[in-house]
Amino acid sequence: MKTEIEVKFLNVDFDEVRRNLESLGGVCEQPMRLMRRVLSQQHKRSPDSDYSSFLRLRDEGDKVTLTYKEFREKTLTGATEQEVVVSNFDETKAILESAGITFTTFQESRRETWKVGNVEVVLDEWPWLNPYIEIESDSEEAVKRMAAQLGFSWDDAVFGATNSAYAVQYPDGRNSRDLISLSEIRFGAPLPDIFKPAKETR
């Protein structure tokens, strides 16, 4: 499987990021668009482990991808994935469900994609979450260099799946790994109980 070299920085100002990307010669390859996905959690280790894996079908606006992704550790190189492009979101979902795959969650997000040389920078918006960016490239050095050029401190780096960002923003909520158990994650929906302090959900 391909190792992903990627990092997140949270609570960002998109306009400032765009200005900095333009100053570095960056090109906006895809403007902000709505994305939708379904996930099926894959159990390979005990529920108490930080290790997680899932199968994801995602409509990215310009293409539909089917991805198997593993997060073995929360580091710059802790994620691996296998991905293919498929022709139709709904038909592929129906095929997988017919084969016995159960999708536990439907998720919406918005994403804008930039490229600076061999580095991809995406601006991400998720329900109930402050804006964040993700930087990905084929080398650790390129990712760290881009982070510095955009004005981010490596001390603020966040690794792992999107639930890592939710865990930072909602530290008093229940285990962020419950994110995949939410049946729907949609813009405009009320904040789920898993993000609220325990005393607020009694």
Q: d(Cα 65, Cα 49) in Å, to the nearest integer?
A: 27
CB atoms within 10 A of CB 159: 16
Query: How much is the pLDDT for 116?
Result: 98
Query: How much is the pLDDT for 87?
Result: 96
Total domains in the fold of the chain: 1
Which domain, by its residues, includes 34? 2-200
Flag residues of the chain having pLDDT under 50.
46, 48
Each residue's pLDDT tens digit, 79-128:
899 999 999 999 999 999 999 999 999 999 999 999 999 999 999 999 99
Specify whether the CB–CB gap between 51 and 44 falls below 8 A: yes
Query: How much is the pLDDT for 201?
Result: 52
Query: How much is the pLDDT for 178?
Result: 66
Tokens of 152: 């981010």
- Indicate which CATH number applies to the domain containing 139: 2.40.320.10
Residue 22 contacts by C-beta under 8 Å, 6 or more apart in sequence?
Answer: none
CA angle 104, 134, 180 (to 5 degrees): 10
Query: How much is the pLDDT for 202?
Result: 52
